[in-house]
Amino acid sequence: MAMSIIEKLYHRYRVAVFRYLYRMGGDYHLAEELTQETFYRAFLSLQGFRGESALSTWLFRIAFYVYTGYLRGHPRERNLPLERDIEDGSSARDPARSVEDAENRRLARLALQKLPVEYRAAIILREIEEMTFDEIGAVLGKSPATARVTLFRARQKYRQVFNQLAEGDGNDQQGM
């Protein structure tokens, strides 16, 4: 039996959409749920897809709206702690270096979670999903130039938050 378009989209983009939603919210099970919701909404609106962007960009835009919609319904869960890493494939090194790397990854995740949602999305879409400014703008509903400015500001804020966490004990759980 031939696969439907939405099944093909799901098989092709589910890992990327999951990874994006996981990095946005930091909760594995929530990311699974929101990934399913993203593809459900994509199925419902597939007829309305006009082809003005790539299908992947369209899916990430839906995922962004699914995530922000979730936050509106759960305002206390704006910054969820990342419960575990997605495998990065790195090999074991000397123990001291491994501990330092783990702490830097923890601080990086915490700093990312402290950013406003739009900044967090811009960084994830550019640095992890390697999207262009046109694609980021399409996902966030902005022009490419505004997406570039948003990413610039997001990186500045990220560096500020990361440095504050690194200078402190790194255990700051309060929002900024």
Domain coordinates in residue numbering, the chain: 1-78, 94-176
75: Cβ contacts below 8 Å, ≥ 6 apart: none
pLDDT of res. 174: 45
Residues above pLDDT 70, as percent of the chain: 82
Q: How many other C-beta atoms can be found within 10 angstroms of the C-beta atom of residue 143?
A: 13
Taking the model in full, what pTM does it have? Answer: 0.78
pLDDT score of 62 more than 90: yes
Q: Is the pLDDT of residue 148 over 50?
A: yes
pLDDT of residue 31: 96
The arithmetic mean of pLDDT across residues 110-132, rounded, is 94
> Mean pLDDT for the chain?
84
Q: Which CATH architecture has domain 1-78?
A: Orthogonal Bundle (1.10)
Give the per-residue pLDDT at 170. Answer: 47
pLDDT at 3: 67
In the predicted model, what is the mean pLDDT of residues 117-142? 95
Tokens (6 digits) for 80: 């969820």
Q: Would you state the structure tokens that stand for residue 27, as one six-digit string?
A: 């909760």
- Taking the C-alpha atoms of residue 172 and residue 96, their distance in angstroms, rounded to an integer, is 23
Task: State mean pLDDT over 111-130.
Answer: 94
Question: Is 94-176 assigned to CATH 3.30.1130.10?
Answer: no
Mean pLDDT to the nearest integer, 131-135: 96
Q: pLDDT value at position 93?
A: 57
Q: Report pLDDT for 84.
A: 45
Note whether 81 and 113 are within 8 A (CB): yes
pLDDT in tens, 68-117: 999 988 766 554 444 444 444 444 556 777 777 788 888 998 999 999 99
Alpha-carbon gap, residue 43 to 13, rounded angstroms: 14
